[in-house]
């Protein structure tokens, strides 16, 4: 009961912030009403993290959907309910599967959200006009998720106050994580307004972790399906979580159709550079139909 009350309070805070941002954005001119954006959050976050970008896109006439992946944001499931990465991604697959037959979306995934994009590209390629990887994990037919994750871990610096849970015992890989205030401040939100960091520290939830073997089993990506979807990668120049050289390594190993860069962006581009991200996505929406 206390947990439910907490999430209701946090949701109220988000709605207040969202309404404020919407009122600011509605003063902007309207352009190009035809695109549907679906925004997918990263680890420990939820749909709330897009609150600055959503009104900007809507003020341009676009339809925008933000989702909570399973056991994220205000989704009622708990991480103990997730037996596979497919369970985690299910809300995104269900959303796209429910769209009208001829509707396609611009799919935007941030950080761990890139894994959700990748599986959805493989399973529902006909529903996606372009997939946008915003400083996101980008596996592919030529870059297995286990290889990608091992490289990420190899480059990883001190995790600071990130809290790991070892549900299978201390001698086995961790089964969940949640970002602490320090790592959020110094590695994710270091260039974002302090108010956004404060919001994040309040809304973090544990993220279920899966082994490389489990990920490889559920993320089999083919050139015929995954490879049929256009991809754009957006580099966050000042990202200290997935650093620029790692982003470039993924791009080299699994080249997308186009690469863009947002200068001065930390890991949370939608917080530190929302207007620049908006402009970038506007350009993508015009180019990929």
pLDDT above 90 for 20: no
**Distance of alpha carbon 186 from alpha carbon 184, whole angstroms:** 6
pLDDT of residue 289: 78
Write out pLDDT tens, residues 144-167.
Answer: 999 999 999 999 988 999 999 999
Write out pLDDT tens, residues 84-110.
Answer: 999 999 999 999 999 999 999 999 999
Dihedral sign from CA coordinates of 206, 47, 149, 96: positive
The whole-chain average pLDDT of the chain stands at 92
Element (H, E) at 163: strand 163-165
Question: What's the structural domain count of the chain?
Answer: 1
Of the listed ranges 12-26, 179-193, 217-231, the least confidently predicted one is 12-26
**Distance of alpha carbon 188 from alpha carbon 201, whole angstroms:** 11
pLDDT of residue 21: 47
Write out pLDDT tens, residues 245-274.
Answer: 999 999 999 999 999 999 999 999 999 999
Write out pLDDT tens, residues 210-242.
Answer: 999 999 999 999 999 999 999 999 999 999 999
pLDDT of residue 48: 99
Cβ proximity of 230 and 257 under 8 Å = yes
pTM metric for this prediction? 0.90
pLDDT of residue 157: 85
pLDDT of residue 108: 99
**Rounded to the nearest 5°, which phi and psi values hold at 121?**
-60, -40
pLDDT of residue 11: 53
Domain that holds residue 176: 2-287
- The CATH number of residue 222's host domain is 3.40.50.1820
pLDDT of residue 10: 56
E-state strands within 10-150:
36-40, 63-67, 105-110, 128-134
Which amino acids are annotated catalytic? 111, 239, 267
């Amino acid at each position: 009961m206390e947990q439910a009350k907490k999430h209701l309070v946090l949701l109220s805070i988000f709605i207040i912030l969202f309404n404020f941002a919407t009122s600011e954005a509605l003063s902007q001119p309207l352009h190009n009403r035809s695109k549907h954006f679906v925004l997918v959050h990263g680890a420990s976050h939820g749909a709330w993290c897009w609150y600055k970008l959503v009104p900007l896109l809507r003020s341009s006439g676009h339809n925008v959907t933000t989702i909570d992946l399973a056991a994220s944001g205000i989704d009622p499931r708990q991480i103990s309910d997730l037996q596979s990465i497919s369970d985690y991604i299910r809300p995104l697959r269900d959303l796209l599967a429910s769209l009208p037959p001829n509707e396609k979306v611009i799919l935007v995934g941030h950080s761990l959200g890139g894994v959700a994009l990748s599986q959805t590209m493989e399973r529902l390629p006909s529903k996606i006009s372009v997939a946008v990887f915003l400083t996101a994990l980008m596996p592919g037919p030529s870059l297995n998720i286990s290889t990608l994750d091992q490289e990420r871990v190899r480059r990883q610096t001190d995790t600071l106050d990130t809290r790991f849970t070892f549900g299978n015992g201390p001698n086995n890989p961790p089964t969940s994580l949640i970002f602490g205030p320090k790592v959020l401040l110094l590695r994710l939100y270091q260039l974002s307004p302090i108010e956004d960091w404060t919001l994040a520290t309040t809304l973090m939830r544990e993220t279920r972790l899966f082994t490389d073997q489990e990920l490889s089993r559920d993320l089999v990506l083919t050139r015929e399906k995954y490879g049929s979807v256009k991809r754009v990668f957006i580099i966050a120049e000042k990202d200290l979580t997935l650093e620029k050289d790692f982003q470039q390594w993924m791009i080299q190993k699994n080249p997308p159709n186009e690469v863009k860069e947002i200068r001065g962006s930390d890991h949370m581009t939608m917080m530190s550079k929302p207007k620049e991200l908006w402009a970038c996505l506007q350009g993508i929406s015009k180019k990929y139909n």
